[in-house]
Amino acid sequence: MTTAPVIGPEERLPLGAAEADPRTATRRRYLMCEPRYFTVSYSINPWMDPSAPVSTDVALRQWHELKATYERLGHVVETIEPAAGLPDMVFAANSGTVIGGRVLGSRFRAVERAAEADHYRRWFVERGYRDVVMPESINEAEGDFAWTGEVLLAGTGFRTDPGAHAEAQEVLGVPVVSLRLVDPRYYHLDTALMVLTEADPTTGRRAQIAYYRDAFSLGSQRVLRHLFPDAVIASDVDAACLGLNGVSDGYNVVLPREANRLATELTARGYNPVMVDISELRKSGGGPKCCTMELRD
Ligand code: ARG
């Protein structure tokens, strides 16, 4: 489970014995931001304790290993220059939602993070993205938005405003399903839910997700059960190490190394868990996914 075979993208990959549905890795493009100025100097979620020691060097090592992991798996990683005074800028997922080349930027709830949004907006404009819209409502981007290939699952309750869900539907032109988060430890959707396989309308393949039930309101739990009857349900232990904050390419699933039970379950379902050490970034409430924005061009 810990030593993942290096695979090329677009390959058909070996199946778990019990799997009828082949898992297929597809090459992804990610945007990441080196944690050069990472620290925990304020607290905007229950994971952040400014009085606890934090090492920028350890965070840098773990981040470079995460980036190298993606590259070994055949993915393309773009980077944005970090800015001094923005210790959370490493969490690239919070600064944009890109689907079909359209970019919906971000608007942070916390004043400490507000300036990150414009750095990322400029990155998109300079890279030639023509459709870049900045939101009116509070919108923490892929922190609260998860694309299933069919619908955009959208979290609210702690950060992103419900108004941002409607805005995302209009700007990105995709159907949005709103979900309510109720546990402050799981303040962003991507701390409680991950997409493992995207739906593919051309082959009829259904989307598959993993999630932690108790992070959601009862109504949202019902919605998730209805839409994803075969979802992987994560345990308390998996959730508590931010194990749901993983990144899947359809076959390889990059996870925090403590998420053992989730990894075992994913293996049984035909996925290949790839474990990384992200402990230093977790001190800010982050994991692999928080560090990673997917560019769906
Ligand atoms: N310290 C950051 C915050 O609270 C962590 C963000 C993690 N990002 C994420 N996509 N969950 O805003």
Residue 112 lies in a domain: yes
Total domains present in the chain: 1
Q: Report the C-alpha gap between 129 and 199 in whole angstroms.
A: 25
| Digit-coded pLDDT (tens) for 116-173 | 999 999 999 999 999 999 999 999 999 999 999 999 999 999 999 999 999 999 999 9
C-alpha 140 – ligand 1 centre gap (Å): 9
Q: Is the entire prediction scored with pTM above 0.75? A: yes
- The residue segments making up the domain with residue 96 are 29-294
Residue 18 lies in a domain: no
Residue 121 lies in a domain: yes
Confidence band for 201, pLDDT divided at 50, 70 and 90: confident
Q: Report the C-alpha gap between 84 and 66 in whole angstroms.
A: 22
**Active-site annotation holder among 33, 75, 165, 290:** 290
Catalytic annotation present for 33: no
Residue 171 lies in a domain: yes
Q: Report the C-alpha gap between 251 and 259 in whole angstroms.
A: 17
C-alpha 143 – ligand 1 centre gap (Å): 7
- Candidates 96, 152, 147, 100; CA nearest to 125 is 96
- β-strands 193-197, 208-211: how paired? antiparallel
Which residues, 6 or more positions from 238, have their beta carbon under 8 angstroms from its beta carbon?
Answer: 212, 244, 259, 261, 262
Identify which of 47, 94, 153 to mutate to test ligand 1's pocket (most ligand atoms within 8 A of the CB).
Answer: 94
CATH number, position 244: 3.75.10.10
Exposed (0-12), middle (13-18) or buried (19+): which is 136, by Cβ within 10 Å? exposed
C-alpha 191 – ligand 1 centre gap (Å): 9
**Active-site annotation holder among 33, 188, 241, 291:** 188
For ligand 1, say whether the CB of 285 is within 6 Å of any of its atoms.
Answer: yes
Residue 139 lies in a domain: yes
| Digit-coded pLDDT (tens) for 12-66 | 444 444 445 689 999 999 999 999 999 999 999 999 999 999 999 999 999 999 9
Residue 24 lies in a domain: no
For ligand 1, say whether the CB of 45 is within 6 Å of any of its atoms.
Answer: yes
Residue 217 lies in a domain: yes
Please report, as a single letter, which amino acid is at residue 11.
Answer: E
Residue 35 lies in a domain: yes
